[in-house]
Structure 1
Amino acid sequence: MTNPSTTLRHVVLFAFKDEASAEQVQSIVDGFKALPSTVPGITAYEWGTNVSPEGLNDGFTHCFTLTFASAEDRDTYLSHPEHQRFVGTLGAVLARSLVLDYWAQ
C-alpha cells in the first residue's frame, strides 16, 4: 500500500549518561545540527529539549526531528557516511536512544 503523504518524519530522542558533561552534550547537538548541510534529502530539521511538566520523559532530554520527502531519502540519510560518522560519536555520552519514523497525516 502506498502512503499518500509525502512527509516522512524521523524523530530521535536521546538520554545522556549522567557523567556526560555539558560540553559533550553540546558537541552532540552541534554534530546533529550539521547533518542537514552535509546529507542530501533532509527537507527540514528541528530540535529541542524536554520542557514537559508531566515527568513522563523516562530520562530522554533531547528530541531531534528530521523531515524527508521519501523513504528513499531517509534510507540514504541512514547509510550516508556523515550520518554514520555522527552515530560513531554517540557511544561515549549516550545512555539510550529512541527512534520513530512516521508519515505525517
Structure 2
Amino acid sequence: MPATSTLRHVVLFSFKDDAPADAVNAVVSDFGKLPQEIPGIAAYEWGTNVSPEGLNNGFTHCFTLTFASDEDRDAYLVHPAHQRFVGTLGSCLERSLVIDYWTQ
C-alpha cells in the first residue's frame, strides 16, 4: 500500500420496516459518539442513501470510519464502547454489510 494510504471501514445498515424513527435516530446518534470514545478513529462520516439507481438492496444508512493502521481498526472492533453499540442494534437492525479497504 502507498505511504499515504488510509484504511476505510464502511458500514451499511438496513433497518427493519417496523423500526421506530426514534430507534433509528438513536443508532445514528450512538454511532456518532464512537469517535470521541475510541482512540484511533481518524475520521468519521455518515449519510443516508440518495442514489437514484435503486440498487441499494434495502441499505439506507452508510457510515465510514478512517483508520491509520490495521491495529487502530482492530482496537476499535474490540473496544468496549463499540461492543456496547453493537449490542444495541438487535431491536431495529435488519442487516448490515461491512467492508474495509485501503485507499488507492
Length-normalised TM-score, structure 1? 0.96
> Which structure 2 residue ranges, 5 or more long, are not aligned?
none
Give the whole-Å Cα distance in 2 for the aligned partners of 1:26 and 1:65.
Answer: 17
Aligned length: 103
Contact 1:15 1:95 in 2 (8 A): yes
Match of 1:15 in 2: 14
Give the whole-Å Cα distance in 2 for the aligned partners of 1:102 and 1:6.
Answer: 10
Runs of 4+ in 1 over 2 A off after TM superposition: 3-6
Q: What percentage of residue pairs aligned between the two structures are identical?
A: 72
Match of 1:51 in 2: 50
Q: Match of 1:53, as an amino acid?
A: P
Contact 1:12 1:100 in 2 (8 A): yes
Give the whole-Å Cα distance in 2 for the aligned partners of 1:6 and 1:76.
Answer: 19
Give the whole-Å Cα distance in 2 for the aligned partners of 1:7 and 1:100.
Answer: 14
Q: Match of 2:57, as an amino acid?
A: D
- CA offsets per residue over residues 50-73 of structure 1, 9 Å max, x none? 000000000000000000000000
Give the whole-Å Cα distance in 1 for the aligned partners of 2:85 and 2:5.
Answer: 26
Instruction: Give, in angstroms, the shift of residue 29 of structure 1.
Output: 0.1
- CA offsets per residue over residues 3-59 of structure 1, 9 Å max, x none? 225400000000000110110000000000000000000000000000000000000
> Which structure 1 residue ranges, 5 or more long, are not aligned?
none
Matched residue of 1:36: which SS?
helix
Give the whole-Å Cα distance in 2 for the aligned partners of 1:38 and 1:6.
Answer: 24
2:95 corresponds to 1:96: yes
